[in-house]
Amino acid sequence: MHDRDPAEGGLRGRKKRETRAALVAAAVRLAAEHGAENVTVDAISEAAGVSPRTFFNYFDSRDEAFVMVGAESSGRVRQAVLAAPADVP
């Protein structure tokens, strides 16, 4: 993983955090829809509205985006699961 400072302030830091969050959210959503093994960097990038090159500015591999779910998104994932209708497996 590249050296990154998620606590970096200002507009640039906020935009970086937003882009990273969008990539993680896209990876999770696509994995839920298609299975993680069927999700590509191109698909994640397209869903997040960035280029694959931008993806690699944030992550070293596709799998790293999924690892970040626990680090950055676990609260959102938990809330989404709890809020899901009872008939959704």
Angle at Cα 19 formed by Cα 48 and Cα 2, nearest 5°? 115
d(CA 46, CA 52): 8
Alpha helices in the chain (DSSP H): 10-34, 41-48, 52-58, 62-68, 74-83
- Identify the architecture of domain 10-83 in CATH: Orthogonal Bundle (1.10)
Extents of the domains making up the chain:
10-83
pLDDT (0 to 100) of residue 67: 78
d(CA 33, CA 18): 22
Each of the 89 residues of the chain gets a pLDDT tens digit; together they read 554 554 567 999 999 999 999 999 999 899 888 888 899 999 999 999 999 999 999 999 998 988 765 555 566 666 777 777 888 66
CB 27 within 8 A of CB 66: yes
pLDDT (0 to 100) of residue 74: 63
pLDDT (0 to 100) of residue 11: 92
